[in-house]
Amino acid sequence: MSRWGPKLRSPRLADSLSSCRVLVVGAGGIGCELLKNLVLTGFKNIEVIDLDTIDVSNLNRQFLFQKKHVGKSKAQVAKESVLRFCPSANITAYHDSIMNPDYNVEFFRNFQLVMNALDNRAARNHVNRMCLAADIPLIESGTAGYLGQVTVIKKGQTECYECQPKPTQKTFPGCTIRNTPSEPIHCIVWAKYLFNQLFGEEDADQEVSPDTADPEVAWNPADAAARATASNKDGDIKRVSTKEWARSTGYDPVKLFNKLFKDDIMYLLTMDKLWKKRKAPLPLDWTEIHQLESSQEEAFGTGLKDQQVLGVQGYAQLFHRSVETLRSQLIEKGEGAELVWDKDDPPAMDFVTAAANLRMNVFSMNMKSRFDVKSMAGNIIPAIATTNAVIAGLIVLEALKTLNSDFDQCRTIFLNKQPNPRKKLLVPCALDPPNPNCYVCASKPEVTVKLNVHKTIVQALQDKILKEKFGMVAPDVQIEDGKGTILISSEEGETEANNNKFLSDFGIRNGSRLQADDFLQDYTLLVNLIHSEELEKDVEFEVVGDAPDKAPAPSVPEEGKNIANGNKDSAQPSTSSKAAAEDDDVLIVDSDEEPSSSTMEASPESSNRKRKHHDADTDATASKRKRLDQQPADDDEDIIALD
């Protein structure tokens, strides 16, 4: 105990545990373990907040919940379960979002310590800012499969959660998704888009039909323009929207199948330039598929049903069943109803699994099991109960140090998948000082954004830049033009008329400055604008100097290598013997608990290969990885060996 935390025999610390108020944000995988640990350690006054309700899929790792609790509030059930360990504890549960304005800076000032057990970056950013504004220590944590980490954030003394820019979620060009998928993830993204276009909220940025404006299609710009303006050819997205066409057929599964996997593919084949150096897609026909011998449609792989890979006929039948089920759900909801994608909704998951695998087959890729598709479609690495337990224990140890005023002993602690060269699984690192250029915790936060003032509307500035990119909840924006012009107001209805106007309509030009205030977060950000007409295609804005957002240069295929759409072999169904985390196809790590800004590579073995599933959203930083490899030998005193 002496290596990791203060001795509990300290009377002052014991009194502190029984009297201090702590806030736990999140009652999921880490949160359940953490709440149990807190009451057993002696904490008496705990408040916990979580927006979610309990799902069956939570029960394999969130041990405060049972089957009878499914559908109930996580925070409330967690409170009731934990009180069985310590009936004298005073626990308050909130079934709510921590981003609700009710939980303002004054609310946070009621606590001596805040502990995060969250599953998304937006909420992490928000809690980070609230703790900075309230000047309350925050213990941040996260897990991803076998990896995990805990760190302590204290205003003015350490890096905050946002001191190091986070890589954005990996995205793919629309023409790749619609015309030339080369990896299973491209097909899975396409299938999710298709779900939304057919059954959910239509989005012009999620079109799934062949893209006639793909610049690679044409030999010259004039030809590309001609194709883009064509409107009467089969497969052209301007002919009719996907949803309108589906409704006109009554969501007929066979007609949908032939449109998506036969007609659209045959149309793609007419874009012959696409297939000069690629293996051309192979259309599927419903009638021909169902003339196959059933013996050819055995499942590949062993084990659980979700880990098996069906044949083409099996996925065609699954597609048929799921479309009929989703159509019935739409009818039950009434005219104009929409469904929402949820990886834990069986019909939705069946649809995406079937549609994605059928498209993989069309483009000669190895098909994936439902388990693998769910991991990628849900952007998750499956959570592991033991990892959550280890991380929850480390949170409490860092909490004890913080409350005992032993802040100089606090560490960022990493849980590795495999032992490091000194055979340690748990590796502590000294806390980093604040980044003087951080746009959150600097004395005067400031950023520079490059965009086209003639094409960027006020709504995009609010939603995509201030809210999505910079994590604001309810920004008020004033133009520094000497007049104090209000561009955006958080008060409903005050500036809605501005939403669809271009920034240039307000006199905003190259060098203009905006002051963005978020009163809930007690946060002000100065935004410097650079006008540019040379942004890359589909790029609406860039944060100048935000290096982690820069994508690495694409690799060039070796000359003479047989190109088969990203596969080294022909289209053979895959098995599920490989964990989803081992595939480079995983988009981002929004697992039960997403790793925080200081996560490092897990082991020497894994550091030698790409970790897209990890780095994409684990907020890893190169400096942290470097420090892991350079730990001095005398740090052994701070490291626990798990042999």
Residue ranges for the known binding site for ATP are 26-31, 50, 58-61, 74, 97-98, 119-124
Residue 175 annotated as catalytic: yes
Interatomic CA distance for residues 200 and 353, integer angstroms: 17
Three-state DSSP state, 320: helix
- Residue 139: its H or E element: strand 138-144
Place of tokens 């994936």: 368
Give the C-alpha distances (Å, rounded to integers) separating 47 from 44, 84, 101.
10, 16, 17
Q: Which residues does the annotation place in the binding site?
A: 26-31, 50, 58-61, 74, 97-98, 119-124, 160, 163, 438, 441
Q: Exposed, middle or buried, 421 (CB in 10 Å: 0-12/13-18/19+)? A: exposed
Are 199 and 371 in contact by the 8 Å Cβ rule? The answer is no
- Residue 413: its H or E element: strand 411-415
Are 18 and 42 in contact by the 8 Å Cβ rule? The answer is yes
Per-residue b/e over 591-613, b at no fewer than 16 CB within 10 Å?
A: bbbbbbbbbbbbbeebeeeebbb
Give the C-alpha distances (Å, rounded to integers) separating 112 from 21, 403, 410, 510.
6, 8, 16, 45
The radius of gyration of the chain's CA atoms, rounded to the nearest angstrom, is 26
Three-state DSSP state, 451: strand
SS (H, E, C) 74-119: HHHHHHHHHHCCCCCCEEEEECCCCCCCCCCHHHHCCCCEEEECCC
Cβ neighbours of residue 562 under 8 Å, at least 6 residues apart?
A: none
Interatomic CA distance for residues 141 and 155, integer angstroms: 17
Three-state DSSP state, 31: helix
Cβ neighbours of residue 481 under 8 Å, at least 6 residues apart?
A: 507, 512
Per-residue b/e over 164-176, b at no fewer than 16 CB within 10 Å?
A: bbbbbebebebbb
Q: Which of 32, 86, 175, 410 is catalytic?
A: 175
- Residue 525: its H or E element: strand 523-531
Chain CA centroid to CA 221, Å: 37
CA angle 531-514-551, nearest 5°?
Answer: 50
Q: Which residues does the annotation place in the binding site for Zn(2+)?
A: 160, 163, 438, 441
What are the φ and ψ backbone dihedral angles of 123, each rounded to 5 degrees? -70, -35
Three-state DSSP state, 151: strand
- What sign does the CA torsion over 341, 343, 344, 350 have? positive
Longest dimension (CA), the chain: 81
- Residue 412: its H or E element: strand 411-415
Q: Which residues are catalytic?
A: 175
